[in-house]
Chains A and B, each alone.
Chain A
Protein backbone atom coordinates (compact mmCIF):
# COMPACT_ATOMS: atom_id res chain seq x y z
CA UNK A 1 0.00 0.00 0.00
CA UNK A 2 1.24 3.44 -0.87
CA UNK A 3 2.36 5.60 2.02
CA UNK A 4 4.66 8.56 2.51
CA UNK A 5 6.17 6.88 5.56
CA UNK A 6 7.66 4.27 3.27
CA UNK A 7 9.40 6.91 1.15
CA UNK A 8 10.79 8.81 4.11
CA UNK A 9 12.21 5.61 5.58
CA UNK A 10 13.79 4.74 2.24
CA UNK A 11 15.49 8.15 1.98
CA UNK A 12 16.62 7.99 5.58
CA UNK A 13 18.10 4.52 5.17
CA UNK A 14 19.85 5.45 1.92
CA UNK A 15 21.37 8.63 3.36
CA UNK A 16 22.70 6.95 6.49
CA UNK A 17 23.91 3.97 4.49
CA UNK A 18 26.00 5.94 2.02
CA UNK A 19 27.13 9.08 3.85
CA UNK A 20 28.79 9.91 7.13
CA UNK A 21 26.12 10.48 9.84
CA UNK A 22 26.80 14.22 10.26
CA UNK A 23 26.43 14.91 6.56
CA UNK A 24 23.36 12.72 6.37
CA UNK A 25 21.77 14.66 9.21
CA UNK A 26 22.67 17.94 7.54
CA UNK A 27 21.19 16.86 4.23
CA UNK A 28 18.06 15.66 5.98
CA UNK A 29 17.70 19.03 7.67
CA UNK A 30 18.08 20.71 4.33
CA UNK A 31 15.46 18.49 2.71
CA UNK A 32 13.07 19.11 5.57
CA UNK A 33 13.64 22.87 5.40
CA UNK A 34 13.07 22.92 1.66
CA UNK A 35 9.96 20.78 2.03
CA UNK A 36 8.59 23.15 4.68
CA UNK A 37 9.19 26.22 2.52
CA UNK A 38 7.66 24.53 -0.52
CA UNK A 39 4.70 23.48 1.53
CA UNK A 40 4.35 27.06 2.68
CA UNK A 41 4.30 28.47 -0.83
CA UNK A 42 1.93 25.82 -2.13
CA UNK A 43 -0.39 26.23 0.83
CA UNK A 44 -0.52 29.98 0.36
CA UNK A 45 -1.35 29.70 -3.32
CA UNK A 46 -3.92 26.95 -2.87
CA UNK A 47 -5.66 28.48 0.11
CA UNK A 48 -5.93 31.94 -1.42
CA UNK A 49 -7.39 30.44 -4.58
CA UNK A 50 -9.73 28.32 -2.50
CA UNK A 51 -10.87 31.33 -0.53
CA UNK A 52 -11.54 33.29 -3.68
CA UNK A 53 -13.46 30.48 -5.25
CA UNK A 54 -15.48 29.73 -2.12
CA UNK A 55 -16.34 33.39 -1.62
CA UNK A 56 -17.24 33.76 -5.28
CA UNK A 57 -19.66 30.89 -5.26
CA UNK A 58 -21.28 32.05 -2.03
CA UNK A 59 -21.64 35.49 -3.56
CA UNK A 60 -23.18 34.07 -6.73
CA UNK A 61 -20.08 34.97 -8.76
CA UNK A 62 -17.67 32.90 -10.81
CA UNK A 63 -14.49 34.11 -9.16
CA UNK A 64 -11.11 34.07 -10.90
CA UNK A 65 -11.46 32.34 -14.26
CA UNK A 66 -9.10 33.96 -16.72
CA UNK A 67 -5.56 32.89 -15.74
CA UNK A 68 -5.18 29.24 -16.52
CA UNK A 69 -7.98 26.66 -16.59
CA UNK A 70 -10.69 27.82 -14.19
CA UNK A 71 -8.44 30.59 -12.92
CA UNK A 72 -6.02 28.09 -11.36
CA UNK A 73 -2.96 30.27 -11.81
CA UNK A 74 -4.56 33.49 -10.64
CA UNK A 75 -2.82 33.39 -7.28
CA UNK A 76 0.50 32.61 -8.95
CA UNK A 77 0.06 35.71 -11.07
CA UNK A 78 -0.88 37.73 -8.00
CA UNK A 79 2.19 36.54 -6.14
CA UNK A 80 4.40 37.50 -9.07
CA UNK A 81 2.81 40.92 -9.07
CA UNK A 82 3.38 41.36 -5.35
CA UNK A 83 6.96 40.15 -5.63
CA UNK A 84 7.69 42.74 -8.29
CA UNK A 85 6.08 45.64 -6.45
CA UNK A 86 8.15 48.09 -4.51
CA UNK A 87 8.14 47.39 -0.80
CA UNK A 88 7.55 50.86 0.57
CA UNK A 89 8.67 51.87 4.03
CA UNK A 90 6.87 54.99 5.24
CA UNK A 91 8.97 57.96 6.16
CA UNK A 92 7.95 58.22 9.79
CA UNK A 93 8.05 54.49 10.44
CA UNK A 94 10.43 52.72 12.77
CA UNK A 95 12.30 51.12 9.89
CA UNK A 96 13.87 48.22 11.73
CA UNK A 97 10.70 47.01 13.45
CA UNK A 98 8.62 47.76 10.38
CA UNK A 99 10.73 45.46 8.23
CA UNK A 100 11.20 42.85 10.94
CA UNK A 101 7.50 42.36 11.71
CA UNK A 102 6.44 40.36 8.62
CA UNK A 103 9.40 37.99 9.02
CA UNK A 104 8.59 37.44 12.66
CA UNK A 105 5.02 36.56 11.80
CA UNK A 106 6.04 34.16 9.06
CA UNK A 107 8.76 32.51 11.19
CA UNK A 108 6.26 31.90 13.95
CA UNK A 109 3.82 30.20 11.64
CA UNK A 110 6.66 28.11 10.19
CA UNK A 111 7.67 27.00 13.65
CA UNK A 112 4.22 25.70 14.48
CA UNK A 113 4.46 23.39 11.48
CA UNK A 114 7.05 21.29 13.33
CA UNK A 115 4.86 19.01 15.45
CA UNK A 116 2.06 18.65 12.88
CA UNK A 117 1.68 15.06 11.67
CA UNK A 118 0.86 15.24 7.98
CA UNK A 119 0.51 11.50 7.48
CA UNK A 120 1.50 8.31 9.17
CA UNK A 121 5.14 8.82 10.07
CA UNK A 122 5.46 12.21 8.38
CA UNK A 123 6.17 14.59 11.20
CA UNK A 124 9.09 16.95 11.54
CA UNK A 125 9.47 16.81 15.28
CA UNK A 126 7.44 14.57 17.54
CA UNK A 127 8.33 16.30 20.78
CA UNK A 128 6.75 15.14 24.00
CA UNK A 129 5.04 18.46 24.72
CA UNK A 130 3.58 18.94 21.24
CA UNK A 131 0.30 20.58 22.29
CA UNK A 132 2.01 22.88 24.74
CA UNK A 133 4.54 23.84 22.08
CA UNK A 134 1.77 24.77 19.65
CA UNK A 135 -0.07 26.97 22.13
CA UNK A 136 3.16 28.61 23.27
CA UNK A 137 4.50 29.40 19.83
CA UNK A 138 1.19 30.51 18.33
CA UNK A 139 0.89 33.28 20.92
CA UNK A 140 4.14 34.77 19.62
CA UNK A 141 2.54 35.90 16.37
CA UNK A 142 0.72 38.67 18.21
CA UNK A 143 4.09 40.27 18.87
CA UNK A 144 4.69 40.50 15.14
CA UNK A 145 1.30 42.10 14.64
CA UNK A 146 1.80 44.57 17.47
CA UNK A 147 5.23 45.39 16.07
CA UNK A 148 3.80 46.03 12.62
CA UNK A 149 1.04 48.22 13.99
CA UNK A 150 3.31 50.24 16.22
CA UNK A 151 6.14 50.67 13.75
CA UNK A 152 3.92 51.80 10.88
CA UNK A 153 3.36 55.21 12.48
CA UNK A 154 -0.21 55.08 11.30
CA UNK A 155 -3.20 55.42 13.59
CA UNK A 156 -5.25 52.85 11.78
CA UNK A 157 -2.39 50.37 12.12
CA UNK A 158 -2.00 51.16 15.77
CA UNK A 159 -5.70 50.68 16.48
CA UNK A 160 -5.69 47.43 14.52
CA UNK A 161 -2.67 46.13 16.38
CA UNK A 162 -4.14 46.99 19.75
CA UNK A 163 -7.37 45.26 18.86
CA UNK A 164 -5.44 42.26 17.69
CA UNK A 165 -3.48 42.13 20.92
CA UNK A 166 -6.60 42.19 23.10
CA UNK A 167 -8.27 39.64 20.88
CA UNK A 168 -5.51 37.07 20.65
CA UNK A 169 -4.61 37.24 24.30
CA UNK A 170 -8.19 36.58 25.37
CA UNK A 171 -9.10 33.96 22.82
CA UNK A 172 -6.00 31.96 23.58
CA UNK A 173 -7.56 31.07 26.91
CA UNK A 174 -10.52 29.21 25.52
CA UNK A 175 -8.48 27.69 22.71
CA UNK A 176 -6.08 26.36 25.33
CA UNK A 177 -8.92 25.12 27.52
CA UNK A 178 -10.41 23.12 24.68
CA UNK A 179 -7.01 21.65 23.86
CA UNK A 180 -6.52 20.67 27.49
CA UNK A 181 -9.86 18.90 27.55
CA UNK A 182 -8.55 16.50 24.92
CA UNK A 183 -5.22 16.21 26.67
CA UNK A 184 -7.14 15.17 29.79
CA UNK A 185 -8.68 12.33 27.83
CA UNK A 186 -5.48 11.10 26.23
CA UNK A 187 -3.18 11.79 29.14
CA UNK A 188 -0.38 12.90 26.84
CA UNK A 189 0.81 16.08 25.18
CA UNK A 190 2.64 14.20 22.45
CA UNK A 191 0.90 14.54 19.10
CA UNK A 192 1.61 10.98 18.03
CA UNK A 193 0.12 9.64 21.27
CA UNK A 194 -2.98 11.71 20.77
CA UNK A 195 -3.41 10.35 17.27
CA UNK A 196 -2.75 6.80 18.40
CA UNK A 197 -5.40 7.14 21.11
CA UNK A 198 -7.98 7.69 18.37
CA UNK A 199 -7.32 4.27 16.86
CA UNK A 200 -10.83 3.10 17.73
CA UNK A 201 -12.71 6.31 16.98
CA UNK A 202 -12.19 10.06 16.93
CA UNK A 203 -12.38 12.03 20.16
CA UNK A 204 -15.15 14.16 18.69
CA UNK A 205 -17.36 11.05 18.74
CA UNK A 206 -15.84 9.22 21.69
CA UNK A 207 -15.88 12.12 24.12
CA UNK A 208 -19.68 12.60 24.34
CA UNK A 209 -21.12 16.12 24.26
CA UNK A 210 -18.22 17.83 26.09
CA UNK A 211 -15.94 16.91 23.20
CA UNK A 212 -18.38 18.44 20.73
CA UNK A 213 -18.62 21.60 22.82
CA UNK A 214 -14.87 21.95 23.14
CA UNK A 215 -14.52 21.36 19.39
CA UNK A 216 -17.02 24.16 18.68
CA UNK A 217 -15.25 26.48 21.12
CA UNK A 218 -11.89 25.64 19.63
CA UNK A 219 -13.10 26.44 16.12
CA UNK A 220 -14.55 29.78 17.27
CA UNK A 221 -11.43 30.65 19.24
CA UNK A 222 -9.01 29.86 16.44
CA UNK A 223 -11.14 31.83 13.98
CA UNK A 224 -10.58 34.75 16.31
CA UNK A 225 -6.92 33.95 16.82
CA UNK A 226 -6.21 33.93 13.11
CA UNK A 227 -8.00 37.28 12.71
CA UNK A 228 -10.64 35.90 10.41
CA UNK A 229 -14.15 37.28 9.97
CA UNK A 230 -16.38 37.54 11.93
CA UNK A 231 -13.47 38.37 14.24
CA UNK A 232 -11.30 40.24 11.72
CA UNK A 233 -11.24 43.38 13.83
CA UNK A 234 -7.51 43.81 13.48
CA UNK A 235 -7.90 44.49 9.79
CA UNK A 236 -11.59 45.48 9.75
CA UNK A 237 -11.71 46.87 6.27
CA UNK A 238 -14.68 49.18 6.63
CA UNK A 239 -13.37 50.63 9.89
CA UNK A 240 -9.58 50.65 9.79
CA UNK A 241 -8.97 50.31 6.02
CA UNK A 242 -6.55 47.40 6.46
CA UNK A 243 -5.66 47.54 10.14
CA UNK A 244 -2.15 46.60 11.13
CA UNK A 245 -0.89 46.04 7.58
CA UNK A 246 -2.24 49.30 6.13
CA UNK A 247 1.25 50.59 5.32
CA UNK A 248 2.68 47.37 3.95
CA UNK A 249 3.07 46.73 0.26
CA UNK A 250 4.79 44.33 -2.06
CA UNK A 251 6.39 41.22 -0.66
CA UNK A 252 6.13 42.38 2.94
CA UNK A 253 2.37 42.54 2.58
CA UNK A 254 2.45 39.17 0.85
CA UNK A 255 4.21 37.67 3.86
CA UNK A 256 1.44 38.83 6.18
CA UNK A 257 -1.09 37.46 3.77
CA UNK A 258 0.75 34.16 3.49
CA UNK A 259 1.14 33.88 7.25
CA UNK A 260 -2.59 34.41 7.70
CA UNK A 261 -3.44 31.53 5.42
CA UNK A 262 -0.75 29.23 6.76
CA UNK A 263 -2.00 29.97 10.26
CA UNK A 264 -5.47 28.91 9.21
CA UNK A 265 -4.02 25.69 7.85
CA UNK A 266 -2.11 25.04 11.05
CA UNK A 267 -4.96 25.68 13.44
CA UNK A 268 -7.21 23.48 11.34
CA UNK A 269 -4.51 20.81 11.34
CA UNK A 270 -4.34 21.02 15.13
CA UNK A 271 -8.11 20.79 15.38
CA UNK A 272 -8.10 17.82 13.01
CA UNK A 273 -5.35 16.14 15.00
CA UNK A 274 -6.96 16.54 18.37
CA UNK A 275 -10.60 16.08 17.57
CA UNK A 276 -10.74 14.22 14.28
CA UNK A 277 -7.83 11.85 14.66
CA UNK A 278 -5.24 13.55 12.45
CA UNK A 279 -4.21 11.10 9.75
CA UNK A 280 -6.09 8.29 11.48
CA UNK A 281 -8.79 6.86 9.22
CA UNK A 282 -12.36 6.74 10.49
CA UNK A 283 -12.56 3.72 12.75
CA UNK A 284 -15.67 2.64 14.57
CA UNK A 285 -15.14 0.52 17.69
CA UNK A 286 -14.64 -3.08 16.68
CA UNK A 287 -16.21 -3.15 13.23
CA UNK A 288 -13.17 -4.89 11.83
CA UNK A 289 -14.46 -5.02 8.24
CA UNK A 290 -15.36 -1.33 8.10
CA UNK A 291 -12.09 -0.27 9.70
CA UNK A 292 -10.18 -2.38 7.21
CA UNK A 293 -11.90 -0.69 4.25
CA UNK A 294 -11.13 2.73 5.72
CA UNK A 295 -7.48 1.80 6.12
CA UNK A 296 -7.18 1.47 2.36
CA UNK A 297 -7.47 5.24 1.97
CA UNK A 298 -3.95 6.67 2.46
CA UNK A 299 -3.40 8.49 5.72
CA UNK A 300 -2.23 11.67 3.98
CA UNK A 301 -5.56 11.89 2.16
CA UNK A 302 -7.40 11.53 5.45
CA UNK A 303 -5.37 14.32 6.96
CA UNK A 304 -5.68 16.72 4.05
CA UNK A 305 -9.38 15.95 3.70
CA UNK A 306 -10.08 16.71 7.34
CA UNK A 307 -8.01 19.87 7.38
CA UNK A 308 -9.56 21.26 4.23
CA UNK A 309 -13.10 20.60 5.39
CA UNK A 310 -12.32 22.54 8.55
CA UNK A 311 -10.78 25.32 6.47
CA UNK A 312 -13.91 25.37 4.37
CA UNK A 313 -15.98 25.72 7.52
CA UNK A 314 -13.93 28.74 8.60
CA UNK A 315 -14.26 30.27 5.15
CA UNK A 316 -17.99 29.65 5.28
CA UNK A 317 -18.13 31.68 8.51
CA UNK A 318 -16.22 34.50 6.93
CA UNK A 319 -18.46 34.87 3.93
CA UNK A 320 -21.70 34.71 5.90
CA UNK A 321 -21.37 36.72 9.08
CA UNK A 322 -21.01 40.40 9.87
CA UNK A 323 -18.11 41.49 12.02
CA UNK A 324 -18.37 41.86 15.79
CA UNK A 325 -17.50 45.04 17.64
CA UNK A 326 -14.43 45.04 19.85
CA UNK A 327 -16.36 45.09 23.14
CA UNK A 328 -18.75 42.40 21.92
CA UNK A 329 -15.79 40.32 20.86
CA UNK A 330 -14.31 40.46 24.32
CA UNK A 331 -17.68 39.92 25.95
CA UNK A 332 -18.21 36.80 23.87
CA UNK A 333 -14.91 35.43 25.12
CA UNK A 334 -15.10 36.36 28.78
CA UNK A 335 -18.83 35.90 29.39
CA UNK A 336 -19.66 32.99 27.15
CA UNK A 337 -16.73 31.00 25.80
CA UNK A 338 -14.47 30.98 28.85
CA UNK A 339 -17.12 29.98 31.45
CA UNK A 340 -18.50 27.35 29.14
CA UNK A 341 -15.09 25.90 28.39
CA UNK A 342 -14.13 25.86 32.05
CA UNK A 343 -17.29 23.98 32.92
CA UNK A 344 -16.66 21.75 29.97
CA UNK A 345 -13.15 20.97 31.14
CA UNK A 346 -14.57 19.97 34.51
CA UNK A 347 -17.05 17.62 32.86
CA UNK A 348 -14.32 16.25 30.66
CA UNK A 349 -12.11 15.53 33.68
CA UNK A 350 -15.03 13.73 35.31
CA UNK A 351 -15.50 11.64 32.19
CA UNK A 352 -11.81 10.88 31.98
CA UNK A 353 -11.51 9.88 35.65
CA UNK A 354 -14.51 7.59 35.54
CA UNK A 355 -13.62 6.25 32.11
CA UNK A 356 -17.08 7.04 30.70
CA UNK A 357 -15.72 7.72 27.25
CA UNK A 358 -15.73 4.98 24.68
Chain B
Protein backbone atom coordinates (compact mmCIF):
# COMPACT_ATOMS: atom_id res chain seq x y z
CA UNK B 1 0.00 0.00 0.00
CA UNK B 2 2.80 2.36 0.91
CA UNK B 3 4.35 1.62 -2.43
CA UNK B 4 1.13 2.50 -4.23
CA UNK B 5 0.80 5.72 -2.22
CA UNK B 6 4.30 6.75 -3.17
CA UNK B 7 3.71 5.82 -6.81
CA UNK B 8 0.58 7.96 -7.00
CA UNK B 9 2.04 10.91 -5.12
CA UNK B 10 5.11 10.72 -7.39
CA UNK B 11 2.91 10.97 -10.46
CA UNK B 12 0.94 13.87 -9.05
CA UNK B 13 4.02 15.75 -7.85
CA UNK B 14 5.60 15.35 -11.27
CA UNK B 15 2.53 16.58 -13.08
CA UNK B 16 2.25 19.57 -10.76
CA UNK B 17 5.88 20.60 -11.35
CA UNK B 18 5.37 20.33 -15.10
CA UNK B 19 2.20 22.41 -14.98
CA UNK B 20 4.05 25.09 -12.98
CA UNK B 21 6.56 25.53 -15.77
CA UNK B 22 3.83 25.52 -18.39
CA UNK B 23 1.99 28.23 -16.48
CA UNK B 24 5.07 30.43 -16.66
CA UNK B 25 5.65 29.96 -20.39
CA UNK B 26 1.92 30.36 -20.93
CA UNK B 27 2.06 33.66 -19.09
CA UNK B 28 4.82 34.93 -21.34
CA UNK B 29 3.02 33.64 -24.41
CA UNK B 30 -0.05 35.69 -23.63
CA UNK B 31 1.71 38.86 -22.45
CA UNK B 32 3.13 40.65 -25.42
CA UNK B 33 4.49 43.55 -23.39
CA UNK B 34 7.13 41.24 -21.87
CA UNK B 35 8.80 40.88 -25.27
CA UNK B 36 12.32 42.24 -25.17
CA UNK B 37 13.30 42.09 -28.84
CA UNK B 38 14.98 45.24 -30.08
CA UNK B 39 14.65 45.69 -33.81
CA UNK B 40 18.09 47.08 -34.27
CA UNK B 41 18.44 48.91 -37.56
CA UNK B 42 14.91 50.27 -37.19
CA UNK B 43 15.39 51.65 -33.70
CA UNK B 44 18.54 53.62 -34.45
CA UNK B 45 16.80 56.90 -33.60
CA UNK B 46 15.76 55.77 -30.14
CA UNK B 47 19.09 54.18 -29.29
CA UNK B 48 21.11 56.04 -26.70
CA UNK B 49 24.56 54.76 -25.95
CA UNK B 50 25.95 55.93 -22.63
CA UNK B 51 28.55 58.66 -22.89
CA UNK B 52 31.27 56.40 -21.54
CA UNK B 53 30.69 53.75 -24.19
CA UNK B 54 33.97 52.95 -25.94
CA UNK B 55 33.43 52.73 -29.68
CA UNK B 56 36.56 54.15 -31.27
CA UNK B 57 39.25 56.73 -30.53
CA UNK B 58 38.65 60.17 -31.97
CA UNK B 59 40.50 63.48 -31.63
CA UNK B 60 38.44 66.46 -30.59
CA UNK B 61 38.70 69.56 -32.76
CA UNK B 62 37.16 72.91 -31.89
CA UNK B 63 35.53 75.44 -34.19
CA UNK B 64 38.88 76.86 -35.32
CA UNK B 65 40.02 73.41 -36.40
CA UNK B 66 42.42 73.23 -33.50
CA UNK B 67 43.21 70.18 -31.41
CA UNK B 68 45.03 69.67 -28.15
CA UNK B 69 47.57 67.04 -29.18
CA UNK B 70 51.18 67.93 -28.48
CA UNK B 71 52.59 64.80 -30.07
CA UNK B 72 54.02 63.56 -26.77
CA UNK B 73 53.39 59.86 -27.73
CA UNK B 74 52.07 59.00 -24.23
CA UNK B 75 49.12 57.27 -25.87
CA UNK B 76 51.37 55.37 -28.24
CA UNK B 77 53.37 54.08 -25.28
CA UNK B 78 50.26 53.23 -23.28
CA UNK B 79 48.68 51.22 -26.06
CA UNK B 80 49.12 47.47 -25.61
CA UNK B 81 48.45 46.62 -29.25
CA UNK B 82 50.43 49.22 -31.19
CA UNK B 83 47.17 50.70 -32.37
CA UNK B 84 48.44 54.26 -32.37
CA UNK B 85 51.35 55.63 -34.35
CA UNK B 86 52.25 59.28 -33.95
CA UNK B 87 54.30 61.05 -36.58
CA UNK B 88 55.75 64.33 -35.41
CA UNK B 89 57.29 67.26 -37.23
CA UNK B 90 59.18 70.38 -36.18
CA UNK B 91 57.31 73.65 -36.40
CA UNK B 92 59.32 76.88 -36.59
CA UNK B 93 57.76 79.39 -34.22
CA UNK B 94 57.76 83.15 -35.10
CA UNK B 95 60.69 83.61 -32.75
CA UNK B 96 62.67 81.17 -34.85
CA UNK B 97 62.63 78.38 -32.28
CA UNK B 98 62.10 74.81 -33.37
CA UNK B 99 59.12 73.12 -31.67
CA UNK B 100 57.96 69.52 -31.83
CA UNK B 101 54.36 69.21 -33.11
CA UNK B 102 51.94 66.61 -34.35
CA UNK B 103 52.07 65.79 -38.00
CA UNK B 104 49.84 62.73 -38.30
CA UNK B 105 47.94 60.74 -35.69
CA UNK B 106 47.57 57.27 -37.21
CA UNK B 107 44.96 55.08 -35.59
CA UNK B 108 44.52 51.42 -36.52
CA UNK B 109 40.96 50.59 -35.67
CA UNK B 110 41.48 46.99 -36.70
CA UNK B 111 44.02 46.51 -33.89
CA UNK B 112 42.15 48.41 -31.21
CA UNK B 113 40.56 46.59 -28.27
CA UNK B 114 38.89 49.70 -26.82
CA UNK B 115 40.74 49.36 -23.53
CA UNK B 116 40.71 53.10 -22.85
CA UNK B 117 44.39 53.16 -21.75
CA UNK B 118 45.40 55.81 -24.30
CA UNK B 119 42.67 58.17 -23.16
CA UNK B 120 43.78 57.63 -19.56
CA UNK B 121 47.39 58.36 -20.53
CA UNK B 122 46.76 61.55 -22.53
CA UNK B 123 47.96 64.53 -20.49
CA UNK B 124 46.03 67.12 -22.51
CA UNK B 125 42.73 65.29 -23.12
CA UNK B 126 43.26 65.54 -26.84
CA UNK B 127 41.66 62.21 -27.65
CA UNK B 128 38.45 60.62 -26.44
CA UNK B 129 36.27 57.63 -27.06
CA UNK B 130 33.39 58.09 -29.49
CA UNK B 131 30.11 56.20 -29.20
CA UNK B 132 30.11 54.86 -32.74
CA UNK B 133 29.96 51.13 -33.11
CA UNK B 134 29.15 50.32 -36.71
CA UNK B 135 32.69 49.83 -37.89
CA UNK B 136 32.26 47.42 -40.75
CA UNK B 137 33.92 48.49 -43.98
CA UNK B 138 34.48 46.78 -47.30
CA UNK B 139 38.24 47.26 -47.37
CA UNK B 140 40.67 46.73 -44.53
CA UNK B 141 42.67 49.84 -45.42
CA UNK B 142 39.71 52.00 -44.48
CA UNK B 143 40.20 50.94 -40.87
CA UNK B 144 43.49 52.79 -40.66
CA UNK B 145 42.46 56.30 -39.80
CA UNK B 146 44.12 59.67 -39.57
CA UNK B 147 42.69 61.34 -36.50
CA UNK B 148 43.88 64.94 -36.86
CA UNK B 149 41.86 66.80 -39.46
CA UNK B 150 43.74 68.23 -42.44
CA UNK B 151 45.04 71.71 -41.78
CA UNK B 152 44.42 71.48 -38.05
CA UNK B 153 46.94 72.83 -35.61
CA UNK B 154 47.51 72.77 -31.92
CA UNK B 155 45.43 75.06 -29.75
CA UNK B 156 47.24 78.04 -28.24
CA UNK B 157 48.56 77.60 -24.73
CA UNK B 158 48.77 73.81 -24.63
CA UNK B 159 52.17 72.51 -23.74
Contact = CB atoms under 8 A, between A and B. Distances in A.
Contacts of B25: 58, 316, 319-320
Given A316-B25, A336-B11, A57 B32 contact: yes
Contacts of B34: 60
B18 A62 contact: no
B29 interface: yes
Nearest to A322: B21
Given A316-B22, A321-B21, A336-B11, A62 B37 contact: yes
A336 B14 CA distance: 12
Contacts of A316: 22, 25-26, 29
Contact of B29 (A58, A62, A317): A58
Interface string B26-56: 1011001011110100000000000000000
Contacts, number: 36
Given A54-B29, A316-B22, A320-B21, A60 B11 contact: no
B14 to A, nearest CB: 9
Interface string A315-344: 011011100000000000000100000000
Contacts of A57: 28-29, 32, 35
Nearest to A340: B11
Contact of A60 (B21, B22, B36): B36
Q: By DSSP majority rule, is chain B's interface helix, strand, loop, or mixed?
A: helix
Contacts of B18: 320-321
Contacts of A60: 28, 34-37
A61 B18 CA distance: 22
Contacts of A336: 11
Interface string B104-121: 000000000000000000
Interface in A47-102: 54, 57-62, 65
Contacts of B28: 57-60
A76 B35 CA distance: 25
Nearest to A54: B29
Nearest to B18: A321
Given A57-B28, A57-B29, A336-B11, A62 B22 contact: no
B23 to A, nearest CB: 9
Contact of A320 (B11, B22, B32, B37): B22
Contacts of B11: 336
B29 A61 contact: no
B33 to A, nearest CB: 10
Contacts of A317: 22
A26 to B, nearest CB: 47
A53 to B, nearest CB: 10
A323 B37 CA distance: 26
Nearest to A339: B7
A62 B21 contact: no
A159 B37 CA distance: 37
B90 to A, nearest CB: 57
Interface in B79-104: none
B35 A62 contact: yes
A217 B18 CA distance: 15
A31 B18 CA distance: 45
Contacts of B21: 320-321
Most buried by A among B11, B28, B39: B28
A217 to B, nearest CB: 12
Contacts of A62: 35, 37, 39
Contact of B35 (A54, A61, A320, A321): A61
A58 to B, nearest CB: 4
Contacts of A58: 25-26, 28-29
Contacts of A321: 18, 21
A310 B35 CA distance: 25
B32 A61 contact: no
A62 B37 CA distance: 6
Interface of A: 54, 57-62, 65, 316-317, 319-321, 336
The 5 A-B pairs with the shortest beta carbon distances in the complex, nearest first, are A62-B37, A58-B25, A320-B25, A320-B21, A57-B29
Given A58-B29, A62-B37, A320-B25, 17 more contacts: A57-B32, A58-B28, A59-B28, A60-B28, A60-B35, A61-B35, A61-B36, A316-B25, A316-B26, A316-B29, A317-B22, A319-B25, A320-B18, A320-B22, A321-B18, A321-B21, A336-B11
20 contacts: A54-B29, A57-B29, A57-B32, A58-B26, A58-B28, A60-B35, A60-B36, A60-B37, A61-B37, A62-B37, A62-B39, A65-B39, A316-B26, A316-B29, A317-B22, A319-B25, A320-B18, A320-B21, A321-B21, A336-B11
